[in-house]
Chains A and B, each alone.
Chain A
Amino acid sequence: MKEVNIHVEHLTRVEGHGNIILNARNGKVEKVMWEVSEAPRLFEAFVRGKPYHQLARITSRICGICSIGHTLASLKATEAAMGIEISAQSQLLRRLAIHGENMQSHILHLGYLVSPDLFGVGSVIPLVKTHPDAVLSIVKLHRVANEYSDAICGRTTHPTNLVPGGLHKSPSPVKLRKCREMLLDSVDTANAVAELLLDNAGALPDFSRETEFIALTSEEEYALYDGLIGSTDAGTYPAEAYESVVNEFVVPHSTAKYCKNKRESFMVGALARFNLNHKHLSPMAAKWAERFGLKAVCHNPFMNNVAQLVEFVHSIEDSIAIIDRLLEDYKDEPRPRITPKAGRGIGIVDVPRGILFHDYTYDENGICVKANCVIPTNQNHNNIQHDFEAFAPTLLGRPEKEIELNLEMLVRAYDPCISCSTHFLKVEWKR
């Protein structure tokens, strides 16, 4: 049988630099590899020596997409380290912040990066001609998500309104009502986009490999902002156990660290959250999960796209419910005043791409002496590799272009944020 040699350098429609390599001979895969070539980021070193109130500002810059999530994980770590309590109202407002970010990120991924695969085109640009209504709807949803995040967080990215102890200032009730209106108005658009994606969901490969899923989980809600570390294999862990859950290790072909827990790898992200928290989905979100045939525990990584869509709808519905709760008894809370303390704190939130850990140690003046951040995409690299090993052999009979597309789609399904730069497609064929 013919030889297959695939080398996709700097895969497009993902964040950052990653390469795909596949060599096969006589119907056997000799080498299949997901290679991460991004330069190390060194944020943990940047923040050493910085005062506690600057940490979230700095670490939010780790990412341009999930900067709200980094801010929240960072604030939670700082608050845990110093024993700072935050008001019930601030907790709810922060939940809105994370919903806003989830919506921003998911629609960006599904609308601009994944939909071209579903419609069988190379990028979102040709879709403007063939599916103008769909593109306009996606842009509208993206705008809603941005304006919503801006209203709560003070900026659409790298938020300024979230500070240790709560919020810099509570968004006005007028603003909240406006958000509510905007979200309500986006429901039909979201349903229409979901309907369209459902019509084209057949393009998602039917591939499953049993793996472990890790996400925040809670008895009370679809956990994004708060909860315990949950695993589909091993129940729950307290925050303090995070290092023994992620078990970071280094591999030679990657500048990112790899992770594993109970099995050879695990997966984080929307699908992991769905698998662990599906009971708490809002009604409309649950309905969409059912219509897409998404059932827990789902082991098809391609269904992460569907889980994102389901979460998008959930974030709209849950946001509206939270805003209603807030408005029942809403106060203009003063800016929190904080006296720094020495200590170590771990902050965990589940951001669009999965569970995120920030772990800080402070001295008695509130100066950071040690920091550790474990980023979702890092936790997924190892799972992508193991998926490759299982998926590639099933593809070998097909034309090279198709094999390549399938592997690319697999990586994209994880919505990896390999760093914060996107590069253009360069595919290399070696024959």
Chain B
Amino acid sequence: MKIIIDDKEYACREGQKVLDVARAHDVDIPTLCFNPLNEAMRPAGCRLCLVEVLDGGRPGLQSSCSLPVSDGLKVSTKSRAVYDERREVTELLLSEHEQDCRNCPISGECAFSELCRDYDINGVSVCAECPNRKEGCLLSRGVLCIGPITYANCDAFCTRRGYPCEGCHSVMVNEDLLRFGLAAFAKADFHKEEILEAARIFSYEGVKVLDKVMKQEGFK
């Protein structure tokens, strides 16, 4: 019996699930609730192992850890629908999760933070936690605060005390978040180079994205 995963054929046996075939051939499918140490237990609850059935079965998104193989079954692990759904699932999980872990410098040992990275799910900016957001924002007082473009979860420790954020949790790497954050600088009188320089203090990746977004936005 054969199934097709991402346009490639794989031999399989009756009783196997799509995930098992994928794993046996190093096709990457993320999982959280499936425990490789106890393969019999498949609660199929996290919905991260979703694949899209294209042919040979009920079409649509199904969890591969519980989807039985059948001859000629054709699935995709990479379709847009799969990506979007997995991202959404991760985001929902994160919303119930310990918020502090969003900005963890990923060690490679935490499947969940890896997922957040892979699906481009990021934290919020320092502004989101900052009480000055409503009144007395440092930017409006002429102090260069990079809170709008840096990750939070410090409960705006410095800005709350009246000191500008220096981005010790690093500059965000998500373009949308950066674009949104940059709007805060539009009202203040800071030069592009000044902001980039401030951003560079503890960040590298984020500054590259920031630079790109600034260019796109015609930031001066």
**Residues of A in contact with B (beta carbons under 8 Å apart):** 50-51, 54, 57-58, 154-155, 158, 160-161, 168-169, 335
Contact = CB atoms under 8 A, between A and B. Distances in A.
Contact of A154 (B143, B158, B201): B158
Contact of B163 (A50, A51, A160): A160
A158 B197 CA distance: 19
A54 B201 contact: yes
Nearest to A58: B201
Given A54-B201, A160-B166, 9 more contacts: A51-B197, A57-B166, A57-B201, A58-B201, A154-B158, A160-B163, A161-B163, A169-B162, A335-B143
17 contacts: A50-B201, A51-B197, A54-B201, A57-B166, A57-B201, A58-B201, A154-B158, A154-B161, A155-B157, A155-B158, A158-B168, A160-B161, A160-B164, A160-B166, A168-B162, A169-B162, A169-B163
B66 to A, nearest CB: 43
A154 B143 CA distance: 16
Contacts of B163: 154, 160-161, 168-169
A31 B10 CA distance: 64
A152 to B, nearest CB: 12
Interface of B: 143, 157-158, 161-164, 166, 168, 197, 201
Contacts of B168: 158
B18 to A, nearest CB: 44
B158 A160 contact: yes
Main secondary structure of the interface of B (DSSP, over half): loop
Contacts of B166: 57, 160
Nearest to A159: B163
Nearest to A169: B162
6 tightest A-B CB contacts, nearest first: A160-B163, A154-B163, A54-B201, A160-B158, A154-B161, A168-B163
Contacts of B161: 154, 160
Contacts of A161: 163
A419 B4 CA distance: 54
B58 to A, nearest CB: 54
B131 to A, nearest CB: 16
Nearest to B165: A160
Contacts of A155: 157-158
A371 to B, nearest CB: 15
A51 B161 CA distance: 24
